[in-house]
Amino acid sequence: PRMLSTSRPGAAPKGGFCFENSRRNAVLEGNLAEKGFSAPKARKTGTTIAGLVFKDGVILGADTRATDDMVVADKNCMKIHYIAPNIYCCGAGVAADAEVTTQMMSSNVELHSLNTGRPPMVAMVTRQLKQMLFRYQGHIGSSLIIGGVDVTGPQLYSVYPHGSYDKLPFLTMGSGAASAISVFEDRYKPNMELQEAKTLVRDAIAAGIFCDLGSGSNVDLCVIMEAGVQHLRGYDQPAQKTPLEGNYKYKPGTTAVLSETVRPLTVDVVEESVQHVDMQ
């Protein structure tokens, strides 16, 4: 059984994004603005994501904080998304956009792989992504770092919301990009060993966590090599909560009770009906 859109029962789902609610949202926003309120903003991840190419493959790193303006909405969200067994993708920008875009890519890549009978290539994922994002002219706010190892070797691409891409040996994106890139610019060398590379990516993300307000919590790493993938969720927790200094509990009786009133609520049965449900 498939879920069909209720507006046109019987019509097959067309696939891709659905903009049915855009008009409703515009009207709602107008109504809210009249009363002096503002509509809720799309949640941006306020992120630090990074990737680098080392001797045997690619390492992707990300922080795990998702923010809603100035409030942390998720302390441990996953920003490294699966695309294919040998290709992973970090997402920054609007959380929902990054999530859905990468899921779509994952499906497309699997279909393409089945059609061609070949394992997927990183350049192919990049091309599909940038063509889709360009088509939406930047309205899909996802900035992505795609990394993977395929028959042509380890590769790293960045894709921006408007659809441009760059192929580089090391990359950072998100609000913490400036902090993280400084670590890479200082210490990156081509053909690093695995442990050195992992430490470098961890340090770059940590720089973002400490120096950028929109990034925080843990460091997630994803090591992709020809031999396989290690998805290291919670590889490091650089900014742990310190124990509370004082005791904030109060003994019962600290606040004096001046008076007490009990009002029982009586509930009457107004209507009773029985519906017969067919159970298969």
Partner 1 sequence: PPHWSPGTTIMAVEFDGGVVMGADSRTTTGAYIANRVTDKLTPIHERIFCCRSGSAADTQAIADSVTYQLGFHSIELDEPPQVQTAANLFKEMCYRYREELMAGIIVAGWDKRRGGQVYTVPVGGMMTRQPVSVGGSGSTYIYGYVDSNYRTGMSREECLQFTAKALSLAMERDGSSGGVVRLAVISEQGVDRQVILGNQLPRFSAA
Q: Which residues are catalytic?
A: 47
Question: 136-165 in b/e burial notation, b at 16+ Cβ within 10 A?
Answer: beeebbbbbbbbbbbeeebbbbbbbbebeb
Shortest spacing between CB 131 and partner 1, in angstroms: 8
Shortest spacing between CB 46 and partner 1, in angstroms: 16
Q: Per CB under 8 A, does 178 bind partner 1?
A: yes
> What are the backbone angles phi and psi of residue 148, rounded to the nearest 5°?
-175, 170
- The stretch near partner 1 (CB under 8 A) out of 101-109, 130-138, 195-203, 250-258 is 130-138
Q: Per CB under 8 A, does 138 bind partner 1?
A: yes
Q: Per CB under 8 A, does 85 bind partner 1?
A: no
Residues in contact with 47: Cβ distance below 8 Å, sequence separation at least 6, in sequence order:
62, 63, 65, 79, 91, 92, 93, 173, 174, 175, 176, 208, 214, 215
By residue count, the chain amounts to 280
Residues 148-167 that bind partner 1 (CB under 8 A): 158, 160-166
Give the separation between CA 115 and CA 185, rounded to whole angstroms.
41
For residues 221 and 65, is the Cβ–Cβ distance under 8 A? no
Shortest spacing between CB 160 and partner 1, in angstroms: 5
| Residue closer to partner 1, measured from CB, 166 or 196 | 166
* Long-range contacts of 110-115, Cβ-Cβ distance < 8 Å, separation of 24 or more: 110/84, 113/84
Shortest spacing between CB 198 and partner 1, in angstroms: 24
| Residue closer to partner 1, measured from CB, 131 or 199 | 131
Q: Per CB under 8 A, does 198 bind partner 1?
A: no
Q: Per CB under 8 A, does 130 bind partner 1?
A: yes
Phi/psi-derived region of residue 4, left when phi > 0, alpha when psi is between -120 and 50, beta in every other case: beta
Q: Per CB under 8 A, does 136 bind partner 1?
A: no
Q: Per CB under 8 A, does 168 bind partner 1?
A: yes
Contacting residues toward partner 1, per CB under 8 A: 130-131, 133-134, 137-138, 158, 160-166, 168, 177-178
